[in-house]
Structures are given as C-alpha cells and as structure tokens.
Amino acid sequence: MEMYSQAAWLIPLFPLAAFLVLTALGRSFRRAGVLIGTLGSLAAFVLSLFIVIDRLDANTVDYNYAFDWMKIGDYTLRIGFEVTNLTAMMLVVVTLVSFLVNVYSAGYMKNDERITVFYGYVSLFTFSMLGLVLSDNLLSLYIFWELVGVCSFLLVGFWYAKPKARAAAKKAFIVTRIGDAGLLLGILLLFWYMPGHALDFTTIQSVFDGQSGAITTGITTLIALLIFLGAVGKSGQFPLHVWLPDAMEGPTPISALIHAATMVAAGVFLIARTYDIFQDSAAAMETVAYIGGFTAIFAATIALAQNDIKRILAYSTVSQLGYMMMALGLGSLTGGVFHLFTHAFFKALLFLGAGSIIHAVHTQNIHEMGGLGAKMKVTAWTFAIGALALSGIPPLSGFWSKDMILTAAFETNPLLFFVGLAAAFCTALYMSRLFFLVFTGKPGAASSGAQESPVTMTLPLVVLAVPAVAAGFVETPWNGWFGSWLSGEAEAAHGSGVAIVASIAVGLLGIYVGWLVYGKGSVSRTALADRVPWLVKLLERSYYVDELYAVFVVKPLKLLGAILIVIDEYVIGGLVRLTGIATVSAGRLAARLQNGQVQTYSLAAVIGFVIIVIALVGRRFLP
Amino acid sequence: MYEGVSFIPMTWTDMLYLAPELSLAVIFLLLIVLDLFLPKRVSRLSIGWLTFAGLLVSLGLVIWRIADMNQAGAEAEAIHLLSNSYRIDDFGSLLKIVFLTGTALIVLLGLGSVREDEAITDKGEFFYLLLPAVIGAMILSSSGNLITLYIGLELLSLTSYVLVGMRRKSSLSAEAAFKYLVTGGISSAFVLFGMSYIYGVTGSVDLAVIAAALPGAIVNFKALVYVGYFFMLAGFGIKIAAAPFHAWAPDVYQGAPSPVSAFLAVIAKGAALAVLFRVTFNTLLIAANGGDATVSDDIFFALLVLAAAAMLAGTATALRQKNAKRLLALSGVANAGYMLVPIGISITVVHSSNFSEFVYYLVAYLFMTVGAFAVLTVVSRAAGHEELKAFSGMYYRAPWTAAAMVVFVLSLAGLPVSGGFFGKLFILLGAANAKAYWLVAIIVVSSVISYYFYFGLVRQMFMRSGSDDRELRVSGAAGVVIWLCAIVTIALGLFPGPLMSGIDAVFSIRYDLLFG
C-alpha cells in the first residue's frame, strides 16, 4: 500500500544529482543548468505528490527504513528515513516551493553570470532540506540541519561582491550557530539519558509518550529548552531573530524558498517532530508559547515602520513563525503545523511577488514605488491574494490557520489570545500599508518604466495563488480532517464563534485603517510620526535590538577576543612554536640517519636492537 | 590430530586445499615459458593481463575456500596439511584475499605504467615475478611451522630483490636492489638465528608443539627464549620496516619501480606482520596461561615499543622529506607502527577483537597506499621526477585525480570520511580498551605530526601553481586503479560496519588462530 513511501529515499537524490551535475558542468552551460536544476526539483515534487496521495487514506502507517551504520563497542548507530503524514506534507511543501522557485529564478536570475552556481546551491539546499525532513533520527537531522545552514550562508552571500551581503551571510551563520549549539547540547543530553542511547523519533516517542519515567522532568525540561533554542535560532524567534531581516540581502527567490517557506520553518518542524518531549514538560511548553507570542507581536509592530519591501516581509515572517510557535506551545500541534503549511504558500507568493516588483523597478523602498497596480496586473492580483491570506481574511487559507491558533489561545490562555489579536491587527495594517503604497496612488519615482515580469516569473505567482486561496479548507471549524490525518486524532478545540468574529474584525479593521491612511489619504501619513516621533523611530530601528547586541554582546566579546589573542600569541603560540621546533629538530635528527649508506642503516638497526633488548630484558636479569 | 604421526603424505584432496597457491605456481611456470617463446616484437602487456587473470582465479579459489569452510559459522576447524606445516584457516584466507587483491591492483597499475618506463628492459618478467612473491606471502600467512614460514619468507624476499632491481637501466634501481638484498640478508639471518634458539629450547619447529613446550622452556632456559624471540622480532621488524629497522625503506622504495614500491609497502609488509601475529599469538598466549607470564609480556611489550618507535620515527623523518616516494615509504613506516598495535596489545579479558582491527586497517591501508602510488606514477611520469614539486598545481591540471589524491591523503592522515579514519579509530579504541594509554597518546601525537606533511601535499596540489600547466594524462589502467581505490576508501569511511561484521562472521580467534 505504501508503495511510494518506500521510495521516499529517492526524493532527496534528485536534487542531489542535479547539484552534482551542475557542479561538474561548471559555469558554461547556462540554459542546461536552469533545466537540470528545475528538472531535479520537479522529479522530487512529483514523487512527493504521489506519496501524499498514497497516504491520504486514513489508515496509513508510518514507513520507516533504517540500517546499522556503524558499531562502536556495544553501541549500534542506526540511520534511515521515515515517512509519516507530517513528513509527507513537508515533502510536498518543500518540493513545490523549490520547483516554483527554480522556474521563477530562470527569469529573475537570467542575467546573472553565476546562474549555474546559483542553481547548484538551490539544488543542494533542496537536497539538504529534504534530508532533514526525511531523517528518522536526531543525529542525521542535525547533520542536515547544519547543511541547510551552510546553504543559507552560501545563498545569502551569493552576491558576495556586496559588502552588505557578506555581512548578512556571516551574521545569519553566526546567530543561528548559537541556536545550533543549543540543539547539539540537547541531542547530546538526550543521547546520554535515553535508554539504549537511541536517537530515533520512534523510540523518543515511546519513551516520552509512555510516561515511563526513564527521564526525570527536570532533564526533560532542559532537553526540550535546548532543542527549542535550536528552533529559536533557525526560525528567527526573539531574541535570535536579528539575522532574518538582514538575510534579505540574498536574491529574492532565495528569500522565498529558504527564509519564508522552508528552512525557517524547520524549527517549527523540529518541535513538531519531537513534540512528545515538549508535552512532558509544562515549563517548556509555556516557554515556547510565550516566546512565540511575544515574537509575533514584537515583529509585527516593527514591520509597521519599515520601508524596505523585503524587510517588511521578513519581519512578517518572523511574526508568523511566532504564531506557529505559540500554537505549539499552547498544545495545538495541528494549529502550528497547519499554519506552517498555509504560510509556506502565501509567504512564498508574497516574496516572489516582491521579487517581481523589485525586478521591475530596481528599488526596494516602498515609498519610491506607487501606482504599480495598473502596470503589473498579474503581480498585483496575486500579491493581493497573498496579502489578504496573510491578513487572515476569510475564506483564504491564512484565515483558517490563524483562526485555529487564536481559538486555541482563546480557550487556554486569554493573555496570548489578545496578543495574537493585536498581532493580527498589525499584520493586516502593515500589509495594507504595503499594498496601497506599492500598487495604488500616484506613480513613484522608480515606477515610471515598470512593466510586468516575464511569464517564467508570473506563472509561479499564479500557481502559488491557488493554494494560498484554497489550502485552508483542509481544516476548518466544521472539518477536522487535517488534524486527524496529521496526528491520528482530531483536536477538540473547534469553532469558537468569539474567536472567529474577533479575528475577522481585527483583520478588516487593520485593512480599513491602512486604506484610510495610505489608500484614501484621509488621515495624514505623518500623523503618528509628528506626535510620537520616538515611537516611530523605535520601530524603524527594530527596537534597537541590533544596537543592544552590539553594546552588550559584540563589544565585550571583541574585548575578550583581543585579550585571548594576546594570550594565544605569546603563551599558547609560544608553546606551539616550541613543539614545532622540537618536532622539526627531531625530524632533522632522524633524517640524518638517511645518509644513503647501507652500513649505517644496519648499524642503526643493530644498535636499536641492542638498546631494546637491554632495556626490556636486562631488567629481568638484574640481581 | 597430527600428533604422534611422523609424516602424512599429501593426498589429492590436500592438493585441492592448496589450489590457490598451486594455480598461481602453474600460471607462473607457464608464463616463463610463454615469455621465452613469444617473439620479441610482441608486447609483453599480454603477459601482464595473464598474470592479472591468474591472480583473479586464485582470489576466486580463496573466496570459495572461505565460503566453504564457514558454512556452519565461524567456528570451523582449521585444516592441517603435512603434519601442521601448512594450515588452511580463516586467518590465512582473509589475509590471502587482501594480498591477492593488492597484487591484482598492482599488476593493473603496472599495466598502465610499465609500457612507458624505458628503464625496465624485461617487461614480461616484471609481471610474472610478482606471482612467486605473492605465493611467498600466502605461504607466510598459512604456515604452521617455522620451516614453512622461512620458506615463504625467502620466496617473497628473493623475488622482491629482483623486482626492486627491475629498472635495469637506472642506477638508482640497482642501488636499491643491492641495499634491499643486504638488509634482507641481515633480516633473514636474524630470523633464522632466533628460530634456531626456539627450536633448541622447545625441540620442535611446529608452532603448536612450541606453544606446549614453551612454559617448561621458560623455566629452564629463560634467557635463551628471550634471545630466540627478540632475534625473530628484529628480523621481521626489518621486513615490516618498523623503527629502528626502517632506514632502508626510503632508499629502496625510491629506486624501485612505483608498482613494486607499492607491493613492498602493502603485501611484503602485510605478510611479515601476519606472520608476527601468528607466531606471537600462537605460541606466547598459551605459554602465558601456563605460568610465568613475564616473558610473553615482555615480548608483547617489545612489539608495542617497536610500534611506538615506528610511528614517531616515520612521521618525524617524513617532516623534511621532499621526495614523494620517500614520503610514502616513511608513511609506510608509521603505518607499520599502527598495525603493530593490535598485535602488541595482545588479548585481554575485555578486548579480543585484535584481528578484526588489524585486517580492517590493512584493507584500508592497502587501498589508500596503492591509490597514492597510482597517482604518484601518473604525476611523476608527467613531471619526469618524483619530487613533491611534481604535484604542484595538480588541481588545475587534473581536478578529479587531485580529488582522488585528497581522499588518499585524508585516509593516510586518518581523517574522516575515509577508511583510514575508522582503521585508526578501531586501533585506537583497541589500545584504549587494553588500557595502553601511553600508546593512545603516541598514536594521536604521531597522527597530528603527520597532518603537517600530508597537508603539505594537498597544499602543493591546490595552492601552488606549477611550472607545468599541461593537462595531466591518466592512462586507462591507472585511472581504474585510482578510482577503485578512491571509491573503496570512501566506502570504508562511510560504511565501516559491513567489513567489520564480515570479518567477525568468518574469523574465530579460537579456531582460526590459536588452536583447532
């Protein structure tokens, strides 16, 4: 029955093969490169689709294949892959977005000299991400986790001639490393405490789900928090969110693929995959919920004051990831994963739309745009769909998933419910601000020569618009199919009228306010900035988090580094030099033996022999 | 058993057990005749291919033997021929597989390089002389008494002397052959001298009888037992090029044709190590059970001292080496040290997987060394010399070959992902299990020192632009050897499990090494 699931290991191999071929070909075959990259992701997508269709049946069982990788003493390390409904869903999301980004980049990156390199990196990323999704244990997941990080680094810094891109790539890498270190520690702790040192998800589930008491609550909380730290880094949660807006220096298709739909969602995926650990620790769950909720509102307010189209979307991503975390922390696994699912589509759509705009006007400042709606009809319409889905307007996909999260919050934690509502209002507001400034009104400074992008770029927009509209219907208040498919049992919290009404109301209100200010113009745009300039300034500078880091983390670390350099240079370096000199002189002495005289060689052998005999045997015959 | 029977003549069934060795001998004789009668203008490469085919046949026969003997699991009784002077067991068979595979690869490498080497006048001989050499190695790994052992040793050595001097038009080659002959003679003298003492105190050349008589001999003739074993140790120490008996190796490797250097580095060394393994374990472990363990402890400890000296001397001398072939020779010295470790740590209650560690490393060492020598032949032919400079800018001239060389260097340095990494790791863990922590420290230190010169090689390939920027031409046969070795080296680094469990599945220390 799960015929296709057994072949799931093939999926990552398609993009890997594409990567290898692209690397071997070098830069010369530009068109072939595009074709190979696209075909690799298409093949992966088709197979993933088959797997999901295969698994739609309610009675599917998880498919797991693992083999003994190595044996050290009594410990056997098994690695393999696993297809569950959650991973199957992720497979489709990753491969679909990857495929569309491949198509899109054919237009967007057309004139870039290193387009084949770009496609190679994208293929490598897709491979790593799929490997991460398919991993059946934490160890190989961690390896792929690092690999996607490397790909993100390579792609953010793809235009390495730009100093800002270089700095952003470095920042993305270093900041996420903090989270990765936490994750590694978590895995090591888990390895230490798990019965039989097992790291595969099935065993983890049975150990934590069974309440066997094999691991104490304190340790469970610690492990969960460390894993969460990894997720915080990867998914851009406060306080490690600072790398994600800067990562927008990378090519826009990359922002859509890595920094909106797939890699940044890996943190959410990781928590969903190890959910049993979290469910065992109330403290960890609360931490996840509050960090998520705070990130949601925190990033949404920053997005209100940004002027760079991609940075707005980046903060929006941070905020939406916060929603997902909040849902997971509130115990709604389905809510978090469902929002991941819908968000992947509409946020990828928005980023690709933004790319289409940037491609046309060659600026990212929304104040220089304006009036683009008439010139770029496809982009405008699809962007509107994405924006409405993000703002949570029914019946678009974002509404259903956001509503599910808000309902969960409404029933368990009123404080987070209001935080969520406020964030939803901000979301609707900044999206309407963005939309009206870019597509309506008088043409801005940069939009004079703008025209619609080529079909390779608009086609993915249209394709993505479909799930952005319709993907939400898999789980509605009266239809719990997605939840029961995902976890085997439907989640109880359904259909709270208050939450629905409130969520629609704040969404519409946000759009209305946005329209009043930026569309109709009945309220002055600078009204707020005139009255409370410090607040606007605070938001524009993203609450000065980067500056705070610079003063409290980077500067002290640099000072420490300077001190360490001195120690390293004179104390450790001295020792190293001494060792080096000693070794080299030993080598010189030994080389002196090699004088080419066979008599010397034999003499040395005999002398050595005599020494060994006297030293080892002589002691036995001493009186 | 054979005890009490003075001599059992060979039967036809026994001949069947000897089929791998005998088939090689027959092919060897046929090739001599063929070489005589073949007209001069006919290329001698055909003889090379026939040698290759013969090796494969023999390899098949060994594999068949091992499969046949282990149908009922690893604990199959060994087969004794000629009053235990020759024994067919999984210890010998596994090593024969290694030797035959290695020799086959070396013949293949020779097929790629000998044709263009004008210093080699007798190209036919070059190939078929490898056959008696490998027969010698096989006899060594299968011998059950000291006489057979010595015959195997001499067969291997005498043919190797000739092979080293095969480049008749090169004075370097003649010098190498002479040096090897002299040193080899000393080695044989040491071994024979030691053996005669063992015979003197135990009254037998049969390893099993020696083992039984040794406890008594230790009580009565302690000093003479020491003399016997230490002289044998020194003799074999010369053969495996362990310090301080290693000084001949760089000169000889440098003068010999590269495939022959690879043969000396892998097969000759492996066979001598195997015989050390067999002799010490077979005789001393049992003696240690019988009472006074100080003698056997001292001898095993001496092996560890040799190991440590080889590792340190090999790596330290290599630091200042400018010639790639001498570098590989010194790397072989250090590697002999690593392979002595599983022998020298002996068996303890907590640790008895010595043989698996030994064979795993030998296999990894075989592929990385032959691979490195193969790349060296390609590079040195293009450059006309064997200095390290010849590698400079190789990445730009032959990126894939350079990549393969990186794999070999990583493996030699013992870094992941490569067979050398796991080989070294298993040996390291074995030493740690046996609580020989000082040896663990030396393994680590020598590995770290070795990074310096191994990465010097990598630096040459990637960061220096050479004077020569023509594309490097890799002949078909050499290319096959390089890639086969690279793939196996990586495969061993990715999946160490199958080989380890494969060895465990057929090898039982009780039946295949100690008794039975």
pLDDT band at B2 (very low <50, low <70, confident <90, very high): very low
How is residue A381 written in tokens? 């319409």
Contacts for B478 with CB less than 8 Å, ≥ 6 apart = B109, B112, B113, B374, B377, B378
CB contact under 8 A, A70 and B495: yes
How is residue A166 written in tokens? 């270089």
Helices (H), B114-257: 123-128, 130-142, 146-164, 171-202, 207-220, 222-240, 248-255
Chain A positions touching B493 (Cβ under 8 A) are: none
Chain A positions touching B456 (Cβ under 8 A) are: none
Which residue is closest to A586 within chain B, CA to CA? Answer: B316
Does B178 lie at the interface with A, CB-CB under 8 angstroms?
yes
Instruction: List Cα–Cα distances, B401 to A12, A332, B372, B394, B478, in angstroms.
Output: 28, 55, 10, 8, 11
What is the interface pTM, i.e. ipTM, of the complex?
0.86
Predicted pLDDT at A571: 81
Residue A198 has pLDDT above 50, yes or no: yes
Read off the pLDDT of each residue in A73-92 and give the average, rounded to a whole number. 82
Which residue is closest to B399 within chain A, CA to CA? Answer: A24
Structural domain of residue B146, as residue ranges?
23-514
pLDDT band at B466 (very low <50, low <70, confident <90, very high): low
- Compare A578 and B273 and report the one with higher pLDDT: B273
Longest CA–CA separation in chain B, Å:
71
Residue A107 has pLDDT above 70, yes or no: yes
pLDDT band at B439 (very low <50, low <70, confident <90, very high): very high
Q: For the purposes of burial, counting CB atoms within 10 Å of the CB of A146, is it exposed (0-12), middle (13-18) or buried (19 or more)?
A: middle
Chain B positions touching A589 (Cβ under 8 A) are: 316
Q: Give the span between the Cα atoms of A367 and A443, in whole angstroms.
A: 10
Per DSSP, A476 falls in state B
Give pLDDT tens digits for A385-397.
Answer: 999 999 888 888 8
Helix (H, G, I), strand (E, B) or coil at B475: coil
pLDDT band at B23 (very low <50, low <70, confident <90, very high): very high
Contacts for A558 with CB less than 8 Å, ≥ 6 apart = none
Spatial contact of A291 and A225, defined as CB atoms under 8 Å apart:
no
Which residue is closest to B321 within chain A, CA to CA? Answer: A591
Q: Give the span between the Cα atoms of A356 and A379, in whole angstroms.
A: 7
Does B305 lie at the interface with A, CB-CB under 8 angstroms?
yes
Length of chain A: 623
How many domains does chain B fold into?
A: 1
Query: How far B254 CA sits from the closest chain A CA (Å)?
Result: 11
Chain A positions touching B178 (Cβ under 8 A) are: 598
Window 430-449 of B: residues touching A by CB (8 A cutoff) are 449
Query: How far B466 CA sits from the closest chain A CA (Å)?
Result: 23
Predicted pLDDT at A51: 87
End-to-end CA distance of chain B: 9
Q: Give the span between the Cα atoms of A336 and A411, in whole angstroms.
A: 16
Per DSSP, A368 falls in state G
Query: How far B346 CA sits from the closest chain A CA (Å)?
Result: 17
Cis ω before A12 (30° cut-off from 0): no
Spatial contact of B492 and B361, defined as CB atoms under 8 Å apart:
no
Helix (H, G, I), strand (E, B) or coil at A64: strand
Q: Give the span between the Cα atoms of B283 and B299, in whole angstroms.
A: 11
Chain A positions touching B244 (Cβ under 8 A) are: 604-605, 607-609
Per DSSP, A305 falls in state T
- Which pairs count as long-range contacts for A373-378, CB under 8 Å and 24+ apart, including other chains? A373/A439, A373/A440, A375/A447, A375/A450, A375/A451, A375/A452, A376/A439, A376/A450, A376/A451, A376/A452, A376/A453, A377/A452, A378/A452, A378/A458, A378/A461, A378/A462
Predicted pLDDT at B268: 95
CB contact under 8 A, B302 and A612: yes
Does B103 lie at the interface with A, CB-CB under 8 angstroms?
no
Residue A1 has pLDDT above 50, yes or no: no
Spatial contact of B410 and B402, defined as CB atoms under 8 Å apart:
no
Per DSSP, A551 falls in state I
- Identify the residue whose tokens are 């010998």: B92
| Cβ-nearest to B497 among A70, A598, A608 | A70
Chain A positions touching B356 (Cβ under 8 A) are: none
Helix (H, G, I), strand (E, B) or coil at A586: helix
The rounded percent of chain B whose pLDDT value lies above 90 is 50
Beta strand segments in B306-400, E: none
Substitution target from B238, B292, B296, B320 for chain A, most A beta carbons within 10 A: B320
B233 within a domain of the structure (yes/no):
yes
Predicted pLDDT at B6: 59
Helix (H, G, I), strand (E, B) or coil at B79: strand
- Closest of B187, B383, B285, B166 to residue A602, by C-alpha: B187
CA angle A76, B95, B128 (to 5 degrees): 140
CB contact under 8 A, B223 and A594: no
- Compare A344 and A60 and report the one with higher pLDDT: A344
Helices (H), A75-200: 85-108, 115-134, 138-156, 163-193
Does B222 lie at the interface with A, CB-CB under 8 angstroms?
yes
Longest CA–CA separation in chain A, Å:
111
Does B330 lie at the interface with A, CB-CB under 8 angstroms?
no
Chain A positions touching B222 (Cβ under 8 A) are: 620
CA angle B191, B193, B196 (to 5 degrees): 105
Does A618 lie at the interface with B, CB-CB under 8 angstroms?
no
CB contact under 8 A, B183 and A600: no
CB atoms under 10 Å from CB of B171, counted, come to 11
Query: How far A209 CA sits from the closest chain B CA (Å)?
Result: 32
How is residue A169 written in tokens? 């790539």
Per DSSP, B462 falls in state H
Chain A positions touching B313 (Cβ under 8 A) are: 590
CB contact under 8 A, A587 and B317: yes
Instruction: List Cα–Cα distances, A428 to A399, A422, A559, A567, in angstroms.
Output: 11, 10, 44, 54
pLDDT band at A112 (very low <50, low <70, confident <90, very high): confident
Chain B positions touching A616 (Cβ under 8 A) are: 298, 301-302, 305
| Cβ-nearest to B317 among A69, A594, A609 | A594
Look at strands B86-88 and B79-81 and give their pairing: antiparallel
Residue B263 has pLDDT above 80, yes or no: yes
Give pLDDT tens digits for B116-150.
Answer: 778 888 888 899 999 999 999 999 999 988 999 99
Spatial contact of B264 and B253, defined as CB atoms under 8 Å apart:
yes
Substitution target from A70, A79, A610, A614 for chain B, most B beta carbons within 10 A: A70
Contacts for A106 with CB less than 8 Å, ≥ 6 apart = A34, A38, A456
Q: Give the span between the Cα atoms of B331 and B328, in whole angstroms.
A: 5
CB contact under 8 A, B429 and A72: yes
Q: Give the span between the Cα atoms of B15 and B5, in whole angstroms.
A: 20
Which residue is closest to A579 within chain B, CA to CA? Answer: B449
Does B501 lie at the interface with A, CB-CB under 8 angstroms?
yes
Residue B400 has pLDDT above 70, yes or no: yes
Query: How far A304 CA sits from the closest chain B CA (Å)?
Result: 49
Distance of CA B409 to the CA centre of its chain: 19
**Strand (E) or helix (H) holding B57:** helix B45-69
Give pLDDT tens digits for A208-227.
Answer: 876 666 678 888 888 899 99
Contacts for B40 with CB less than 8 Å, ≥ 6 apart = none
Residue A481 has pLDDT above 50, yes or no: yes
Q: Give the span between the Cα atoms of A459 and A27, in whole angstroms.
A: 26
Spatial contact of A281 and A220, defined as CB atoms under 8 Å apart:
yes
Give pLDDT tens digits for A573-618.
Answer: 788 888 888 888 887 877 777 788 888 888 888 898 998 888 888 8
- What does the domain layout of chain A look like in residue ranges? 281-540, 547-621
How is residue B393 written in tokens? 């800018």
pLDDT band at B289 (very low <50, low <70, confident <90, very high): low
CB contact under 8 A, B182 and A604: no
Read off the pLDDT of each residue in A181-198 and give the average, rounded to a whole number. 85
Which residue is closest to A580 within chain B, CA to CA? Answer: B449
Predicted pLDDT at A72: 67
Phi-psi region of A521 (alpha: psi -120 to 50; beta: other; left: phi over 0): left
Instruction: List Cα–Cα distances, A308 to A155, A298, A360, A426, in angstroms.
Output: 20, 18, 15, 17
Chain A positions touching B226 (Cβ under 8 A) are: 613, 617, 620
Spatial contact of B211 and B217, defined as CB atoms under 8 Å apart:
no
Predicted pLDDT at A325: 92
Give pLDDT tens digits for A14-46.
Answer: 888 888 888 877 666 777 888 888 998 999 999
B6 within a domain of the structure (yes/no):
no
Substitution target from A598, A616, A622 for chain B, most B beta carbons within 10 A: A598
Does A75 lie at the interface with B, CB-CB under 8 angstroms?
no
Residue-wise DSSP of B155-183: HHHHHHHHHHTT-TT-HHHHHHHHHHHHH
Spatial contact of A317 and A244, defined as CB atoms under 8 Å apart:
yes
Highest-pLDDT range among A160-164, A555-559, B164-168, B281-285: B164-168
Chain A positions touching B182 (Cβ under 8 A) are: 598, 602
Highest-pLDDT range among A580-584, A602-606, B91-95, B507-511: B91-95
| Cβ-nearest to A71 among B250, B301, B497 | B497
Output the average pLDDT for chain A: 84
Residue B499 has pLDDT above 50, yes or no: yes
